[in-house]
């Protein structure tokens, strides 16, 4: 991780779960970290969980990845404060229970705007910065095993994950598209998809957590994968990581 010391990492959805764990671990690894979140106050609270001499390395900026103007303004603030972006961790995600054939179409659109369009928009800003500065940057997408296998309902129940799996399948394809584009455009920017199984976060309902029992990952299990991916030498491309808890039930 030495080559990333004092480099700038942007983490979306940094207010809780995987995003919060990743932001804290990147700060501990010696990076300047920008945590983007709608609940920006919770990113500010993360600073108090860091050692006093590390708190200055976490910058909180309000951002709703579904809102074009919010994303544009957030990245303007980043570029005003820092020279550019070296790492982007696309973590912001959304899941809402319901059946795709009956649920409110506005909810479907919001999930897609968060899980797909938010990734695309933030990556465009980061890629522009990395390419213009000719740096060996890294874009990481927090995907899901639901982007490789459609999640069914528990114990024969009707599925309630609706468009979540399709949105994550899109990220699996987008990862490969980025790999080819980054190479074809003459850059040395890496792209990695990290696909966890069930993780102890706010997105997972209590009913599912009870069914999983001990077969559930912690947010830091995923941030550890982020750190591993970043620690590989420049010529190594970790394209996709699937992470499951031992004895996974899903």
CATH number assigned to the domain comprising residue 134:
3.40.50.720
Q: Is residue 250 part of a domain?
A: no
Per residue, the 3-state secondary structure of 139-166, as one string, reads: EEEECCHHHCCCCCCHHHCCCCCCCHHH
Does some domain include residue 129?
A: yes
Catalytic, out of 164, 169, 178, 228: 164
**Phi, psi dihedrals of residue 107, rounded to the nearest 5°:** -65, -40
Domain limits at 31?
Answer: 2-243
Residue 248 lies in a domain: no
Predicted local distance difference test score (pLDDT) of residue 133: 97
pLDDT score at 157 = 77
With respect to residue 100, please indicate whether it lies within any of the assigned structural domains.
yes
Structural domains of the chain, count: 1
Q: Is 228 designated active site?
A: no
249 found inside a domain: no
DSSP codes joined into one string, 40-66:
HHHHHHHHTTS-GGGGGGEEEEE--TT
Task: Yes or no: say if 19 and 89 are a contact pair by the CB < 8 Å rule.
Answer: yes
Task: Check residue 148 and give its pLDDT.
Answer: 94
Q: Tens place of pLDDT for every residue, the chain, 250 residues?
A: 889 999 999 999 999 999 999 999 999 999 999 999 999 999 999 998 999 999 999 999 999 999 999 999 999 999 999 989 999 999 999 999 899 999 999 999 999 999 999 999 999 999 999 999 999 999 999 999 999 998 776 666 788 889 999 999 999 999 999 999 999 999 999 999 999 998 886 565 555 545 556 678 999 999 999 999 999 999 999 999 999 998 775 5
pLDDT at 54: 95
The answer to whether residues 115 and 94 touch, using CB atoms and an 8 Å cutoff, is yes
Task: Write down the pLDDT at residue 209.
Answer: 47
Whether 211 is covered by a domain: the verdict is: yes
Residue 93 gets which letter from DSSP? -
Most distant pair of Cα atoms in the chain: their distance: 52
Rounded to two decimals, what is the model's pTM?
0.93
In a domain, 146, yes or no: yes
State the CB neighbour count (10 A cutoff) for residue 124. 12
Residue 235: per-residue pLDDT: 94
């Amino acid at each position: 991780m030495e080559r990333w010391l004092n480099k700038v990492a942007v983490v979306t959805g940094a207010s809780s779960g995987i995003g919060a764990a990743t932001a804290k671990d990147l700060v501990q690894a010696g990076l300047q970290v920008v945590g983007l979140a709608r609940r920006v106050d919770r990113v500010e609270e993360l600073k108090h969980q860091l050692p006093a001499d590390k708190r200055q390395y976490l910058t909180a900026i309000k951002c709703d990845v579904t809102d074009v103007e919010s994303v544009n303004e957030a990245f303007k603030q980043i570029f005003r404060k820092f020279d550019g972006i070296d790492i982007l961790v696309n973590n912001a995600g959304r899941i809402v229970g319901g059946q795709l054939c009956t649920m409110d179409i506005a909810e479907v659109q919001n999930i897609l705007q968060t899980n797909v369009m938010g990734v695309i928009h933030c990556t465009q800003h980061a890629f522009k910065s990395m390419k213009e500065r000719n740096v060996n940057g890294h874009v990481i997408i927090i995907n899901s095993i639901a982007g490789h296998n459609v999640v069914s309902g528990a114990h024969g129940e009707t599925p309630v994950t609706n468009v979540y799996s399709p949105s994550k399948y899109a990220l699996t394809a987008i990862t490969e598209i980025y790999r080819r584009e980054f190479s074809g455009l003459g850059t040395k920017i890496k792209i990695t998809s990290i696909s966890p199984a069930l993780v102890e976060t706010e997105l997972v309902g209590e009913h599912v957590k009870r069914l999983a029992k001990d077969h559930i990952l912690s947010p830091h299990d995923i941030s550890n994968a982020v750190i591993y991916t970043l620690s590989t030498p420049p010529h190594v491309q970790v394209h996709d990581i699937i992470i499951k808890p031992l004895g996974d039930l899903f």
